[in-house]
A and B are shown apart, each in its own frame.
Chain A
Amino acid sequence: MKEIFQLIGFILLPLLVGGIIRKIRSRAQNRKGPPLSQVLRDIYRNLQKEPVVSLQPGFFIEYAPMIAIMGSIIAWSIVSFEWTSFVFIVFFLVLERVAITGFASENGTSFGGMGSARETLLSISTEPTLLLMILVAQSHIQMDASITSFSMGALFLVACFYAVLVELSKPPFDDPRTHLELTMVHEAMLLEASGRKFAMFEISYQIKSATMLTLLVKLGLEHTKFHKNDYLSPSWIPFWVIPAVLLSAVGLGIWEAFCARRKWSWVPELMGLIFLVILFLGTLVKLHDI
């Protein structure tokens, strides 16, 4: 039974998460918004088109889209089926990031270079936090049903949510809605991507979105002892993952609608603070555990 839910989640979530976020964002801004399947239609349309590449093609321009997809799929399979340690996820996210930044840099354009530099800044700011988050996910630390534990767990999840926002290039760290290359990060890197290559990057991004939200949900569900009855027992966790991820996609859509992008100098400061919060909370939980 567990495997069936995992398989359903593995196939469905990457198809739905991106569409839900866009739809909810539009609704929250009093707009009708595109249909749920618009993300998939865009990808399909782009897959039909021949790409146009930069004036100086090379390894990354040629192969980065495929490598990015591979990195995302392997990370997604680890999160979905838990077939090996969660620790490996972070390396495949790095692989995906290197593929995209390499693509942007190899094109040799100013916006590509700028986007790639900003992505590197985000990488430095968020990777230690993500590593710490995954280490906690990997450990057997459990929060019991007390108010103290609940507060610490909730704070921990909020801090992790910020790390996920960085990974997914969402506000307040990045905002694709500005439609201005000078302020974007993820889209600035993909300015030179077109046709099939752009579609591949988009597929990789949708899979990554599902991966990060599922990781966050599993972190919350698997490290708590708040389960009161049989329907919330650990054996039912795979069942609850799918609705919880869809719900978190709704939350992310609302967040994206109302949150504005902040200035760059603020990003490393905030991520440093979040890193320390996770560290202190981890230490407190560990002390409590002993």
Chain B
Amino acid sequence: MIDINFYLALCSVVTLGLLLAPKSGKYSRLLILFQFTLLVFAFFSKKNFLTVISLESLSYIYFFLYPKDHKDQGRSISSFIVSGSISAIFLSVWIFLPSQSIIGTYFLAVAVFIKSSLLLFHFWMPSAYENGTAEINSFSSGVMAIFPFFLFLEFVYPLWNEPIFYLILASIASTGVFVGGVSSYFQSKVSLLLAYSSIEKLNFLWLCIALAGIAKTTTDTGFHILEKPFLILFYFGLIQHSISKVFQFSLMGRIWKSPYLNQLNNIRGMGRLLGIPTALSIIGTMSFMAIPGTSGFLVESMYLLLSSQVLDIQSGRSIAVLPVLVLVFTGLVTGGVSHLRLFYTVFLSTVRTTELEIKPTIENSKYNLDLYWLATMILLPSLTLPFFWNEYFPGTTGVWLKDAGILSFVSLGFVIVVMLFSPKKKIKQATWDCGSKADITRTSVTGETYSLPVRSSLGRYLVKSNGESRLDSTVYKFIHTLLNPYWYRIKQMLDEEDLSNYLAISSGGVLVILLLFFIKDILGY
């Protein structure tokens, strides 16, 4: 029952974190708490319909809790609602089909793939996050995106016993890690950078499930025992992604409050004005960089250890791991470094301009309470989970997992000791570079400084010079062409006969659906 307990704990943790957020009012907090309770109850009692309803209603409550600051947010909310609606259609089919139906699991799988942005089902996410508020994005990426995984593991995973499903899933997910990581690195908007980073991480989670599925369906005993470790790795990854991403959105949301402030280059150095201690603000970035002491370290080191176990297996299937590793390593590294790029530009670079002042908040520590809470949640798993969950890992991997915990303790302990006990002496200050009297605010570093050198070799195949994803824009174009034929084209001014044309098209659609029912029920196909 690890999954139920895990979700219960996760819901409680994230709900508490959200309730501590400074913006939400008394009634909205109560509403969120009620919805989460309902959701947890629905999971416990396995009421699928209730789960879906509470899931969807919770999303919508969140959308409307926050004010619409500018007109572009309409597009983001539309993307959220369209993706949610398409997903809900597939979910509804699954709900109305018999519970053990394999056909039903295909529909459910598509629904959860959309919700959790598996590559090729992810197109809504960048568009939804681009102009959304940090609060909605953090909720969607950190909390809502993880529930589909539960549905998959609970209702699809036990019924899918064909290796081909998992092999396809592993191929798509590993490509997704690569595409997400690389696209994230070349973004010039904060929201898009975090959106593609979410795609990278969510695809990584799908990869863990796929590898567990491959292990489940293989006849090789050496590989078969790795099913549970890969599932545990998925749980590690889920905790890391959801909490670290909420942290990043909460942190960046303090600056990114308008489309102008969403541009990375416009906010360089502004993090310094927030008055948040660097040791606190960097923790989310450290987690994505897999620095020892954070949950990211635990996830990536475990993935590498399990991969090395797979490599040692005397089986033809283990060769397939190597090409997967190429994509995954590159994706993970670029995804992690994209957070570093974000942090360096916003929090370590000098302030470019003083036109847009951000009020320092160092006096009000309550303002940062959510960050402290989330930072603790980022650090705790790497210090505790290795000692409790190592028994699920076979042979030396279990011992290494414990070692990961020890290394986390040592690293974190060392940094804390150095911070507490290093002598605080007054040190002479001067800058050699540009002369000691130079205006240091002129030397702030842009986001492109980090990404431009790799653009021609890595980025140009996936991302345009303005940061737009080539894959996404091609798909948008295709969908636009498909949904916007000559007779149904969006017009500035409607003609008189347009209304009847639209009615005729809608009636045609209804007739086709009725025909399908007729074929199924009357003719028996």
- Shortest CB-to-CB span from A7 to chain B, Å, is 20
Residue among A50, A56, A123 with the highest chain B CB neighbour number at 10 A:
A56
Asked if B305 contacts A87 (CB within 8 A), the reply is yes
Asked if B330 contacts A128 (CB within 8 A), the reply is yes
Question: Given the complex of chains A and B, what is the CA–CA distance between A140 and B314 in angstroms?
Answer: 11
Residue B221 at the A interface, CB < 8 A? no
Question: Given the complex of chains A and B, what is the CA–CA distance between A51 and B277 in angstroms?
Answer: 23
Instruction: Specify which chain A residues have a CB less than 8 angstroms from the CB of B185 in the assembled complex.
Output: 124
Known contacts A51-B427, A191-B432, A290-B314, A121 near B305 by CB under 8 Å: no
Question: Given the complex of chains A and B, what is the CA–CA distance between A112 and B433 in angstroms?
Answer: 9
Select which of B292, B410, B433, B434 is within 8 A of A91 by beta carbon. B292
- Residue in A closest to B438 when the chains form the complex, CB atoms: A109
Instruction: Specify which chain B residues have a CB less than 8 angstroms from the CB of A90 in the assembled complex.
Output: 304
Residue A29 at the B interface, CB < 8 A? no
Asked if B449 contacts A105 (CB within 8 A), the reply is no
- Residue in A closest to B311 when the chains form the complex, CB atoms: A139
Select which of A107, A139, A268, A286 is within 8 A of B457 by beta carbon. A268
A-contact bits for B78-103, CB 8 A (1 contact / 0 none) = 00000000000000000000000000
Select which of A50, A66, A268 is within 8 A of B458 by beta carbon. A268
Asked if B428 contacts A53 (CB within 8 A), the reply is yes
Residue B511 at the A interface, CB < 8 A? no
- Shortest CB-to-CB span from A202 to chain B, Å, is 17
Asked if B407 contacts A132 (CB within 8 A), the reply is no
- Which of A95-103, A164-172, A218-226, A247-255 is near enough to bind chain B? A95-103
- Shortest CB-to-CB span from B73 to chain A, Å, is 32
- Which of B139-147, B191-199, B412-420 is near enough to bind chain A? B412-420
Question: Given the complex of chains A and B, what is the CA–CA distance between A112 and B444 in angstroms?
Answer: 10
Instruction: Specify which chain B residues have a CB less than 8 angstroms from the CB of A156 in the assembled complex.
Output: none
Asked if A139 contacts B349 (CB within 8 A), the reply is no
Asked if B344 contacts A88 (CB within 8 A), the reply is no
Asked if B432 contacts A91 (CB within 8 A), the reply is no
Instruction: Specify which chain B residues have a CB less than 8 angstroms from the CB of A140 in the assembled complex.
Output: 312
Select which of A98, A264, A272 is within 8 A of B340 by beta carbon. A98
Known contacts A74-B407, A109-B433, A57 near B349 by CB under 8 Å: no
- Which of B108-116, B209-217, B318-326, B471-479 is near enough to bind chain A? B318-326
- Residue in A closest to B448 when the chains form the complex, CB atoms: A117
Residue A85 at the B interface, CB < 8 A? yes
Select which of A94, A107, A114, A192 is within 8 A of B449 by beta carbon. A114
Asked if B312 contacts A128 (CB within 8 A), the reply is no
Asked if A117 contacts B449 (CB within 8 A), the reply is yes
Question: Given the complex of chains A and B, what is the CA–CA distance between A80 and B354 in angstroms?
Answer: 51
Residue B278 at the A interface, CB < 8 A? yes
Asked if B308 contacts A135 (CB within 8 A), the reply is yes
Question: Given the complex of chains A and B, what is the CA–CA distance between A181 and B403 in angstroms?
Answer: 40
Residue A289 at the B interface, CB < 8 A? yes
Residue B369 at the A interface, CB < 8 A? no
Instruction: Specify which chain A residues have a CB less than 8 angstroms from the CB of B289 in the assembled complex.
Output: 94, 98
Question: Given the complex of chains A and B, what is the CA–CA distance between A230 and B290 in angstroms?
Answer: 42
Residue A287 at the B interface, CB < 8 A? yes
Known contacts A91-B292, A95-B291, A117-B449, A127 near B431 by CB under 8 Å: no
Residue B453 at the A interface, CB < 8 A? yes
> Size of chain A's interface in residues, with CB distance under 8 A?
77
Instruction: Specify which chain A residues have a CB less than 8 angstroms from the CB of B429 in the assembled complex.
Output: 52-55, 57
Asked if A124 contacts B458 (CB within 8 A), the reply is yes
- Residue in A closest to B396 when the chains form the complex, CB atoms: A85
Question: Given the complex of chains A and B, what is the CA–CA distance between A124 and B396 in angstroms?
Answer: 30
Question: Given the complex of chains A and B, what is the CA–CA distance between A222 and B449 in angstroms?
Answer: 41
Question: Given the complex of chains A and B, what is the CA–CA distance between A102 and B415 in angstroms?
Answer: 15
Question: Given the complex of chains A and B, what is the CA–CA distance between A245 and B466 in angstroms?
Answer: 47
Question: Given the complex of chains A and B, what is the CA–CA distance between A120 and B307 in angstroms?
Answer: 25
Known contacts A70-B414, A127-B329, A102 near B348 by CB under 8 Å: yes
Q: Which of B443-490 contact A (CB under 8 A)?
A: 443-445, 449-450, 453-454, 456-458
- Shortest CB-to-CB span from B119 to chain A, Å, is 19
Asked if B316 contacts A290 (CB within 8 A), the reply is yes
Instruction: Specify which chain A residues have a CB less than 8 angstroms from the CB of B443 in the assembled complex.
Output: 108-110, 113
Q: Which of A121-175 contact B (CB under 8 A)?
A: 121, 123-125, 127-128, 131-132, 134-136, 138-141
- Which of A10-18, A35-43, A275-283 is near enough to bind chain B? A275-283
Question: Given the complex of chains A and B, what is the CA–CA distance between A6 and B207 in angstroms?
Answer: 39
- Shortest CB-to-CB span from B239 to chain A, Å, is 18
Q: Which of A166-202 contact B (CB under 8 A)?
A: 181, 191-192
Residue A236 at the B interface, CB < 8 A? no
Instruction: Specify which chain A residues have a CB less than 8 angstroms from the CB of B300 in the assembled complex.
Output: 91
Residue A76 at the B interface, CB < 8 A? no
Residue A205 at the B interface, CB < 8 A? no
Residue B297 at the A interface, CB < 8 A? yes
Question: Given the complex of chains A and B, what is the CA–CA distance between A107 and B319 in angstroms?
Answer: 46
Residue B155 at the A interface, CB < 8 A? no
Asked if A289 contacts B314 (CB within 8 A), the reply is yes
A-contact bits for B298-317, CB 8 A (1 contact / 0 none) = 00110011011001101110
Select which of B292, B311, B350, B414 is within 8 A of A56 by beta carbon. B350
Instruction: Specify which chain B residues have a CB less than 8 angstroms from the CB of A112 in the assembled complex.
Output: 433
Instruction: Specify which chain A residues have a CB less than 8 angstroms from the CB of B403 in the assembled complex.
Output: 83-85, 88
Question: Given the complex of chains A and B, what is the CA–CA distance between A265 and B429 in angstroms?
Answer: 36
Select which of B318, B427, B432, B454 is within 8 A of A192 by beta carbon. B432
Question: Given the complex of chains A and B, what is the CA–CA distance between A265 and B453 in angstroms?
Answer: 7
Known contacts A91-B297, A289-B314, A60 near B278 by CB under 8 Å: yes
Instruction: Specify which chain B residues have a CB less than 8 angstroms from the CB of A141 in the assembled complex.
Output: 311-312
Question: Given the complex of chains A and B, what is the CA–CA distance between A268 and B330 in angstroms?
Answer: 12
Instruction: Specify which chain B residues have a CB less than 8 angstroms from the CB of A128 in the assembled complex.
Output: 326, 329-330, 333
14 A-B pairs with C-beta separation under 8 A: A53-B427, A60-B278, A66-B414, A66-B418, A74-B407, A84-B407, A87-B304, A101-B340, A101-B344, A125-B454, A128-B333, A131-B325, A265-B457, A290-B315
Chain A: residues with CB nearer than 8 A to chain B? 50-60, 62-63, 66-67, 70, 74, 83-85, 87-88, 90-92, 94-95, 98, 101-102, 105-114, 116-118, 120-121, 123-125, 127-128, 131-132, 134-136, 138-141, 181, 191-192, 264-265, 267-269, 272, 275-276, 279, 282-283, 286-287, 289-290
In the A-B complex, list the 9 residue pairs whose CB atoms are closest, starting with the nearest: A113-B445, A59-B278, A109-B433, A268-B457, A128-B329, A108-B350, A105-B348, A84-B403, A110-B443
Known: A84-B399, A113-B449. 13 other contacts (CB 8 A): A63-B419, A109-B431, A109-B433, A109-B434, A112-B433, A127-B329, A127-B333, A139-B312, A141-B311, A268-B453, A276-B326, A279-B326, A287-B319
